[in-house]
Structure 1
Amino acid sequence: MEYIIEYFVQLYTNQYFFVLAVSLLAISSYLIMRFFVLKVIFRFLNMTSNKFDDILITTGFFNRLSFAVPLIVVYVMTDIDNSPQNLSYRIFFVLFVVIMGTIINSVLNAFNQSYLNSKYSKRLNIKSYIQIIKLIINGLVFIIVVAILINKSPFYLLSGLGALTAVLMLVFKDTILSFISSVQISSNDLFKVGDWLETEEFKADGEVVDIALHTIKIQNWDKTVTVIPTHKLLDSSFKNWRGMTDSGGRRIKRSINIDLNSIKFLNEDMIERLKKIDLLSDYLNNKMIEIKKYNKSDAERSLLNVRNLTNIGTYRAYIREYLNNNSNISKDMTFLIRQLPPSKNGLPIEIYVFSNNTNWVEYESIQSDIFDYLLASINQFDLKLFQNPTGSDFNKSNIA
């Protein structure tokens, strides 16, 4: 028995065997922690209703925490001298600081992810601020590691940063500008994740999917992604369509070009025919009463000596009544049917209204349905659409 005890004592005092034994024990403790203990912890946390612990798992908090276990085992087993002059102690301390830095970074990532899942993330994006905090922490970790390795106080290194201020300003110029831009974006509520942003300079037109410290990601409507430096985006002009979404209405602005040669006064037959249209009957009756009161009882021979209805004016009235009775058109926003100056492309009748549906697909469907109907109904007013001559028009002229 004494021989066996003496044998183990000799093994313990053997430097190479001791190093091998501690290394195997450290690796074993890591593997047990990573593949057994953490699995039990994960299974328990997945059964809880708290979502933050699930986020800690996905951000790797516990995995990074497991790296501290073999470090503790080595520290306890080796009885390292705490003297700063001891190289082993400095290496151990460096590893400890690096592991703590990664753990803090994972906690910040978890906090940011938890905030993104909350209702407050739509009001204020904090990702840029989290990245600044991580940058400061990583910088401090770097300074502490260097200070430990060269056996100097961290304050000794920090005191030397004053002389390097100009160099640091040059190196971190984009970071500083991006941070200032991020503060402006948040404080002035210029845009946020989910907003529709359009910028001509960067050829981007789509939804903001990410706001980071250095970059803004915009997913265009063709599903491509445009990445823009944060400070450069604020230096340029951009359009935020959030106001359209918040208002609940989306503008319809389109013109129907009328052939000038088809514009004329309405005669009695046309008036009687148009009175059969429900949307126009009240308008025509009121107009006829108003015109009869204005015109002389003994009307002159020329139509220009009296007031008369025109087919273009009646068609405008019909458009107004048709849109007034359309449930997809907002009545609380600008509602305008107007005539623009005549041009070489005819007489434009512009429709300037707002759809009460801001969804892109449904909005386009509403707009198309409106103009399908208005274009098809124009012949009822003896009006013609203006269009440039096509091949069929030239063929008809040759036949004639």
Structure 2
Amino acid sequence: MDEISSKSDWFSEQLTKYLEVLHVPGAWGSVIEFLLSVFIIFFLSYLVFLLARRIFLFATVKMVRKTKSKFDDFLVRRRVFRKLAYLAPIAVVFALSKFFWGNYPDELAIFHDIVALVLIVVILTIFKALLGAIEDIYNTFPFAYDRPIKGYLQVIHLLAIIVGILISISIIFNVKVTSIIAGMGALAAVLMLVFRDSILGLVAGVQLSANRMVRVGDWISMPGHNADGTVLEITLNTVKVRNWDKTISTIPTYAMVSSSFVNWRGMEESGGRRIARAVFIDTHSVKFCTPEMLERFKKIHHLKEFIEERQAEIEEYNRSHNIDESLPVNGRRMTNLGVFRKYLENYLIRHPKINEKMTLIVRHLDPTEKGIPVQVYAFSREQEWAKYEGVQADIFDHILSIVPLFELQIFQSPSGEDLKQLVRRFSD
């Protein structure tokens, strides 16, 4: 301390001699000394900052580009080295302040406290950039897609901020950090309320990651939060979802655990997207197939082999059981609805956009007041929404157009035009 004081005295003496030569009044000496020392400190610190940015940063970036590893590139991208350059002027300010103001210990202590607070802010900024670089490096690994760590890094960053605030309070009020922590016991309930979402989000984030419940890029549906789209980001407090109408839904992370949602990842990984739609057949149009109908059906590419095999099987059954075929009710016969159902099966099996390795069923559902539902249950190879809807539309366009060939009718509720025609028929 004596050495610092002697250097400060030397500066004051030299400045006083120079001011006497210039005939400056002694009352202005201390003011000029203070302003000149401030100018020198900040000028030299700014000069050091420029040199650090130009030389240190340039050399570091040049060295990073020569390395084969890509990890250090993320440090440059997150500007970690650029932010490290701020430490140089802080060190210069800290050192020169002792040189110029060594004779004023109280003022020097206050100035050092201010510099320490600035240093804490700079360190937190560097630490945040470093965490960002760590996240980028982690995301280059294949397993990062299933197990994101952004939420964990946000927790670490939050803890670092809390530590920085505690140290800042200890500097400002000149108390120990341990004393501050001991006094925070009474504020525990308040802190629980303030950081409630963060605590719940941390627990939920661990569960989401550990159980692989959701990850970035998944398609999820959560009607309770008006979310139906692709997950963009999973953070400590929120999950961002880009809906199909390009709106963004923000869901609390803990809601992903406390509430139910649908993750369509299984569908995407399976190689198919389900088609489960029915057409309603008018029950009045269902009937036994006549020989003429069967001969006509044999000309259909997807039915010829089936009808020939089924006819041989039915004839053998009826003959072996001495069935009287004079009445249609006796024995076994094919119906136009059964042939139509078999046609749909063969058509879907041969369809290039249907995944034949997955479940494929054409079935009757329970009859309703609208007729007999014939449901197509299959999986489209196309999973993208627009393409999937195109495949589904093409299939049912075809179904609706070929129904009359089997002498079947689609049920449709009477429209106004149908009622008009009925009235005209009765009026005639």
Q: TM-score, normalised by structure 2?
A: 0.85
Per-residue CA deviation, residues 258-286 of structure 1 (Å, 9 max, x unaligned), is 11121111111111111111211111111
Runs (5+) with no aligned partner, structure 1:
none
Q: What secondary structure is seen at the aligned counterpart in 2 of 1:256? A: strand
- 1:6 is displaced (CA, Å) by 5.6
SS in 2 for 1:301: coil
Query: 1:125-182 CA deviation, whole Å, 9 max, x = no partner?
Result: 1011000000111100111111112222211212222333222222222211111111
Question: Which amino acid in structure 2 is aligned with residue 311 of structure 1?
Answer: N
Q: Return closer, same or farther for 1:88/1:393 CA change in 2, 3 Å cut-off.
A: same
Cα deviation, 1:30-74, whole Å, max 9, x if unaligned, reads 344446764565466456554434432332323322221211111
Structure 2 match to 1:59: 78
1:176-191 alignment runs, 5 A limit? 176-191=199-214
Q: Which stretch of the first structure deviates more once superposed, 48-57 or 385-394?
A: 48-57
Provide the residue aligned with 1:167 in structure 2: 190
State yes or no: 1:256 paired with 2:279: yes
Q: Tell me which amino acid in the other structure corresponds to 1:205.
A: D
> 1:265 maps to which residue?
288
Which position in structure 2 is the counterpart of 1:69? 88
Report the Cα offset of residue 242 of structure 1.
0.6
SS for the counterpart of 1:303 is coil
Who is 2:232 aligned against? 209
Note the 1:336-347 alignment, pairs <5 A.
Answer: 336-347=361-372
Aligned residue in 2 for 1:308: 333
2:301 aligned with 1:278, yes or no? yes
Pair 1:362–1:48, CA change in 2 (3 A)? farther
| SS of aligned partner of 2:231 | strand
Judged with a 3 Å threshold, the aligned counterparts in structure 2 of structure 1 residues 366 and 47 are, in CA distance, closer, same or farther, namely: farther
Tell me the CA shift for residue 116 of structure 1. Answer: 2.7
The aligned residue for residue 235 of structure 1 is 258
* Map of 2:47 onto structure 1: 28
**Aligned mates of 1:6, 1:178 — CA distance in 2:** 62
Match of 1:206, SS?
A: strand
Give the equivalent residue in structure 2 for 1:17.
36
Question: CA separation of 1:290/1:8 partners in 2, compared to 1, >3 Å: closer, same or farther?
Answer: farther
Residue type of the partner of 2:331? V
| Residues 1:9 and 1:236: Cα distance change in structure 2 (over 3 Å) | farther
The CA distance in 2 between the partners of 1:253 and 1:334, in whole Å, is 11
Which residue does the alignment assign to 1:192? 215
Deviation of 1:93 after TM superposition, in Å, equals 2.3
CA distance in 2, matches of 1:47, 1:31: 24
Larger radius of gyration: 2
The structure-2 alpha-carbon separation of the partners of 1:251 and 1:79, relative to structure 1 and needing over 3 Å to count, comes to same
Q: Is the 8 A contact 2:323 2:331 kept in 1?
A: no
Distance 2:51 2:147 in 1: 42
After alignment, is 122-131 or 377-386 more displaced? Answer: 377-386
| Match of residue 113 from structure 1 | 136
For 1:300 and 1:56, the matched residues in 2 are separated by 87
1:323 maps to 2:348: yes
Report which stretch shifted further, 169-178 or 114-123. Answer: 114-123
What is the match of residue 335 of structure 1?
360
For this pair of structures, how many residues does the alignment match? 396
Q: Secondary structure at the match of 2:224?
A: coil
How well do the aligned residues superpose, as a CA RMSD in angstroms?
2.7
User: More displaced, 267-276 or 290-299?
Assistant: 290-299
Q: 1:371 to 1:107 in 2, by over 3 A?
A: same
Question: In the alignment, residue 374 of structure 2 is paired with which amino acid?
Answer: I
SS at match of 2:288: coil
Task: State how 1:37-116 maps to structure 2 within 5 Å.
Answer: 38=57, 41-42=60-61, 45=64, 50-79=69-98, 86-116=109-139
1:193, distance to aligned residue in structure 2 (A): 0.4
Which residue identity is paired with 2:384? N
Aligned residue in 2 for 1:141: 164
Q: Distance in 1 between matches of 2:250 and 2:55?
A: 42
Matched, 1:218 2:237: no
Given residue 395 of structure 2, which amino acid in structure 1 is its aligned partner?
I
Matches of 2:121 and 2:309, distance apart in 1: 85
**Number of the residue aligned with 1:357:** 382
Q: Which amino acid aligns with 1:246?
A: E
TM-score (norm 1): 0.91
1:180-221 deviation line (CA, Å, top 9, x unaligned): 111111111110001111011111100000000000100001
User: What SS does the aligned partner of 1:112 have?
Assistant: helix
1:67-109 per-residue CA deviation (whole Å, 9 max, x = no partner) reads: 212111112323366x899223322222222211221111011
> Which is further off, 271-280 or 89-98?
89-98
> Using the alignment, how far apart are the partners of 1:53 and 1:61 within structure 2?
10
SS in structure 1 of the partner of residue 199 of structure 2: helix
Q: Distance in 2 between matches of 1:331 and 1:15?
A: 86
Question: Is 1:125 aligned to 2:144, yes or no?
Answer: no
Q: Unpaired runs of 5+ in structure 2?
A: 1-12, 20-28
Q: Which amino acid aligns with 2:346?
A: E
The equivalent of 1:367 in structure 2 is 392
Percent identity between the aligned chains?
A: 35
| Larger CA deviation: 321-330 vs 281-290 | 321-330
